[in-house]
Structure 1
Amino acid sequence: MPVSISQYWAQLDEMGRAVAFLLIAMSFVSWFTIFAKSWVFWRIRRSAPDVNRFWDGATMEDAIMTLELVDVERVFVPMVKAGVSAVNSERRVTTMMHKADTADIMTRVLRQEMNKITVRLESGLTLLASIGATAPFIGLLGTVWGIYHALTAVSGSAAIQIDLVAGPVGEALVMTGLGLMVAIPAVLAYNAFNRINRITLAELDGFAYDLHTHLSKSAS
């Protein structure tokens, strides 16, 4: 008669259940991150072709209003507002930045905004990479523990019986499978998100360069 997962669970000791709970928790965190980042990146990529409508605005105010409508995840809008604010602000006159020209000020402001956006886009990716890298080894720990139980059962018996070995070996295989089930989606999602992130940051870098040129010329 086939042994069910519930029967394997009943055979686990404290160590085995701790490993299983850890893998299950990692799976929940991984899938939550995957769904959350998928939603964010989908919205970013969907609106990316419309970002160029910013340059069709008659005035900067119209261009910003257009960008606010298409940039639903607020990736490009903060950079534009920070750049315009830096050009129009007079506060730099009372600071050491008053000695810098407009181009240097724009470079500094846009670089700061790029760093903020990069941190926001990359949030969660390290977590997925960590789960993908460690989940197989945590599953392997459960596997080794199950095999240890199998060897203990065999050594304590005068004759080798398949029912003494089947339970612990099945427990070990379940742990191996659970570790892979947690790791594989996390690794695939990390690779996909990392590629989308690189594309988005490349577009953002090009937009920042064009914005820097436009605002520097407008200020001069």
Structure 2
Amino acid sequence: MIIQLLAAGAEAPETSFGFWQAMEEGGPVAWSILGVMIIMSVGSFYILFTKLFEQQKVMNQYKGVRSGFWRANSIREGATKLDKNSAWRQLADDAIAAEDKHAKLNDSLEAHDWMHGSLARSEHAIQAKLNGGLPFLATVGATAPFVGLLGTVIGIYRALINIGVAGSASIDKVAGPVGEALIMTAIGLLVAVPAVFAYNWLQSRNRKIFDMMSGFSTDLLANINSGGTIKPATMTASSTQTAGKAAAGRTTATATTPATGASTTTTTTTKR
């Protein structure tokens, strides 16, 4: 009896069900859907890393704006300290160009309105560049599950066809098509979830950059319209703090000469 069972087990056909077997069961349609998913996934990660690098570069350049640009005597001088291809240099150059062009206008358009519109156009151009590629992420996040669902529907349909032809719902008839359907669903989710995450994350970082650009444009406008007297409040506070530290390090003493009655002022610098 045991020998017969072992013989029957040895003669039983070996059937393996895996990813490649399921994809082969799906045929050209399954491979086509898988190819589309791969393109979507590769494109999403490419946009994620390139935009992340671009955003970080803009944020790092803003540190130079806060530390060096506003310490210059004029906006023209400060613009030369910024990177030529940076967004902040573009805003500064556009502000200078708007100031120069306003003197050539025949209409009595106020300088504030003219420069505000010019800086707004410059901001929108930079925003459009930073937002480039994000619609692709939104499209992938919205459509990838449905592309996977298409493969799921086709896999279930093939399983029903096999059941109808065989006249029975045996596991060997439905395992391949159902496995293909489940794989397509999983791939669709694996492509869509990172794309949605990347889109929301990059959008939040872009909003932060846009807020910084809006503040920088406002400071440029105030500085130009005031003839260079108005600078960001943070720079004023920093300059006041620096001057206070310098004054704290000096001690002033007044001495009177007995012979002449003249007063002599002596300043002593204390090193910290």
The alignment's TM-score, normalised by the length of structure 2, stands at: 0.73
Aligned partners of 2:19, 2:112: CA distance in 1, in Å?
65
State yes or no: 1:110 paired with 2:119. Answer: yes
Matched, 1:121 2:135: no
Aligned: 1:89 with 2:98: no
1:33 match: 47
Partner of 2:32: 18
Paired residues of 2:17 and 2:175 also in contact (CA < 8 A)? no
How far did 1:45 drift?
2.5
Following superposition, the deviation at residue 3 of structure 1 comes to 2.7
Aligned counterparts of 1:45 and 1:79: Cα–Cα separation in 2 = 15
String of CA shifts for 1:14-58, please: whole Å, max 9, x gaps. Answer: 332222221111112112111211111121223333321211113
Map 1:65-214; keep pairs closer than 5 Å: 65-68=80-83, 74-89=86-101, 92-93=104-105, 98-214=107-223
Letter in 2 for 1:215: I
Query: Is the 2:141–2:191 contact (alpha carbons within 8 Å) kept by the matching residues of 1?
Result: yes
With 120-129 and 56-65 compared, the bigger mean Cα shift is at: 56-65
Native 8 Å contact 2:25 2:176 kept in 1: yes
Report the Cα offset of residue 171 of structure 1: 0.3
Aligned-residue Cα RMSD (Å) equals 2.0
Instruction: Choose 173-182 or 14-23, whichever is displaced more.
Output: 14-23
CA separation in 2, counterparts of 1:178 and 1:33?
19
98-107 vs 175-184, which deviates more?
Answer: 98-107
Greater share of residues in helix: 1
Asked whether the equivalents of residues 127 and 210 of structure 2 are also in contact (C-alpha less than 8 Å), the reply is yes
Report the Cα offset of residue 90 of structure 1.
6.5
Shift of 1:141: 0.9
Q: Which has the larger radius of gyration?
A: 2
Q: What does residue 4 of structure 1 align with?
A: 18
SS at match of 1:58: coil
Indicate the percent of aligned positions where both proteins have the same amino acid. 31
- Quote the offset at 1:91 in angstroms: 7.2
Post-superposition offset of 1:89: 3.3
Residues 1:47 and 2:61 are matched in the alignment:
yes
Is residue 226 of structure 2 the alignment partner of residue 217 of structure 1?
yes
Kept after mapping to 1: 8 A contact 2:148/2:188: yes
Contact preservation (8 Å) 1:139, 1:178: yes
Shifted more, 189-198 versus 117-126: the winner is 117-126
Specify the code of the residue in structure 1 equivalent to 2:43.
Answer: V
Q: Which runs of 5+ in 1 are unaligned?
A: none
TM-score normalized by structure 1? 0.89
Larger RCO (CA under 8 A, 6+ residues apart): 1
Larger fraction in strand: 2
1:92 alignment partner, SS class: coil
Letter of the 1:39 counterpart: F
SS at match of 2:167: coil
